[in-house]
């Protein structure tokens, strides 16, 4: 191409395809101001908090951001990867990105990156990098198995916002939620089967704990609740288990409003009194282990359960960058790139 371009023509990049794994985000450190910056960006998103801005702004800035960063920073410190000085979410998402890049290495001109909706690396910086590298086609892959306006939509919103500032905009695809994808169901079911088999006890119950949301969002048409229930049903059917062996709960509620029930913490505190004293728990709404799984469930959840009279508690990790988990991501990405590769 350079032979037929005028001598004064700017360089032309070889056309490439970009793949961006999108995840929620993380503070850059555990100190007050790092966590505060992250929480401010996260909790200022109108998709996440639908309370009218005139009412929410003073609550957030004058109350929540005064005390919450210290509490959250302490929680992050419990699970922080001290070797890499990063949160597990960023470490694992980077590992997933590098593993996917290796799996797609045989495809010419494919670049794989990851971006965070809140925090770093920012979605805008990653899309700018890909566009400047010559990516004329980009696949956005929100790493949320179940769709919600608070997760999938807000991740895509941030990408569209960045695209809206580009003079030469690439063609873009967005990968859909994959809660009922046969490969995902198979891999998730296998992780449960293998996780239970590796324990030195037989659980009385397996709990699938999903991140919660206000009931009001469900009533406004968010499909998340339905997709969570269907995820567990499909996995249970794949395992051939009876309904009494596995249940759905919802965690991480925030504020005074009613959230999706049953609540994970309340359930864990009540089960021993009902004779269920051995449990295994996992968090299928997360593609990578993070503060909500490693600190809230594996630490706080265990403490709640054991103090209530529980005898055995086990947390089954997310799919993360495991070979099976990466098989699923690779299959999904290749399917969504169909016609581009």
Q: What is the pLDDT of residue 255?
A: 85
Question: Does some domain include residue 289?
Answer: yes
Q: Are 167 and 213 in contact (CB under 8 A)?
A: no
Domain assignment of residue 5, yes or no:
no
Cα 285 to Cα 57: distance, rounded to the nearest angstrom: 28
Percent of the chain with pLDDT over 90: 93
Tell me, what's the pLDDT at 166? 95
| 139 and 218 together in one domain | no
Name the band, by pLDDT with cuts 50, 70 and 90, for residue 3.
Answer: low
Residue 152: inside a domain = yes
Is there a single domain that holds both residue 21 and residue 132? yes
| Residue 47 within any structural domain of the chain | yes
Note whether residue 8 is domain-resident. Answer: no
290-310: b (≥16 Cβ within 10 Å) or e = bbbbbbbbbbbbbebbeeeeb
Judge if 199 and 288 occupy the same domain.
yes
Is residue 296 pLDDT above 90, yes or no?
Answer: yes
* Claim to verify: residue 169 and residue 39 sit in the same structural domain: yes
Q: Is residue 309 part of a domain?
A: yes
- The boundaries of the domain holding residue 85 are 16-177+324-336
Both 306 and 243 in one domain: the answer is: yes
Res 89: pLDDT: 98
Confidence of residue 232 (pLDDT cuts 50, 70, 90): very high
Q: Are residues 187 and 133 in the same domain?
A: no
Tokens 């508690």 — which residue?
313
Helix (H) or strand (E) run with residue 69 in it: helix 65-79
139 & 216 share domain: no
Same domain, 210 and 160: no
Has residue 36 got a pLDDT over 80? yes
Q: Is 9 annotated as a binding residue?
A: no
Could you tell me if 134 and 279 lie in one domain?
Answer: no
pLDDT digits over 186-221, tens only?
Answer: 999 999 999 999 999 999 999 999 999 999 999 999
Task: Read off the pLDDT band of 4 (50, 70, 90).
Answer: confident
The answer to whether residues 133 and 228 belong to one domain is no
Helix axes of 182-197 and 224-239: crossing angle, nearest 10 degrees: 60
Tell me, yes or no, whether 129 and 210 share the same domain: no
**Is the residue at 11 inside a domain?**
no
Q: What share of the chain is helix, strand, coil (3-state, %, to 5)?
A: 50, 20, 35
CATH code for the domain of 198: 3.40.50.1400
Q: Is 292 annotated as a binding residue?
A: yes
**Are 209 and 134 in a shared domain?**
no
Residue 23 has pLDDT above 80, yes or no: yes
Alpha carbon distance 336, 341 (integer Å): 10
Q: How many domains does the chain have?
A: 2
Within a domain: 269: yes
């Amino acid at each position: 191409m350079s032979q037929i371009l005028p001598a004064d023509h700017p360089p032309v990049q070889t056309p490439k395809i970009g793949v961006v794994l999108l995840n929620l985000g993380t503070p850059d450190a555990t100190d007050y101001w790092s966590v505060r910056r992250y929480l401010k960006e996260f909790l200022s998103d109108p998709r996440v908090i639908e309370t009218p801005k005139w009412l929410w702004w003073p609550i957030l800035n004058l109350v929540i951001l005064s005390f919450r960063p210290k509490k959250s920073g302490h929680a992050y410190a419990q699970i922080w990867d001290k070797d890499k000085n990063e949160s597990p979410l960023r470490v694992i998402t980077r590992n997933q990105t590098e593993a996917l890049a290796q799996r797609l290495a045989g495809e010419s001109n494919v670049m794989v990156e990851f971006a965070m909706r809140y925090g770093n690396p920012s979605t805008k910086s990653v899309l700018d990098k890909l566009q400047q590298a010559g990516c004329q086609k980009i696949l956005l892959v929100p790493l949320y198995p179940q769709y919600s306006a608070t997760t999938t939509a807000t991740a895509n919103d941030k990408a569209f916002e960045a695209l809206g500032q580009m003079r030469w905009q690439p063609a873009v695809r967005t990968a859909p939620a994959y809660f009922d994808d046969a490969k995902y169901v198979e891999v998730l079911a296998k992780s449960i089967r293998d996780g239970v088999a590796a324990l030195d006890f037989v659980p009385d119950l397996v709990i699938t704990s999903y991140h919660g949301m206000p009931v009001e969002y469900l009533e406004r048409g968010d499909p998340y609740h339905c997709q969570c229930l269907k995820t567990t049903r499909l996995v249970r059917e794949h395992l051939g288990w009876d309904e009494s062996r596995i249940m759905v709960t919802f965690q991480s509620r925030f504020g005074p409003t009613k959230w999706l029930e049953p609540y994970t913490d309340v359930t864990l505190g009540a089960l021993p009194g009902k004779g269920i004293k051995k449990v295994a728990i996992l968090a299928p709404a997360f593609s990578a282990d993070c503060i909500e799984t490693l600190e809230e469930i594996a630490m706080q959840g265990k403490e709640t359960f054991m103090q209530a009279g529980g005898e055995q508690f086990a947390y089954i990790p997310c799919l993360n960058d495991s070979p099976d988990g990466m098989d699923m991501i690779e299959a999904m990405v290749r399917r969504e790139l169909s016609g581009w590769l």
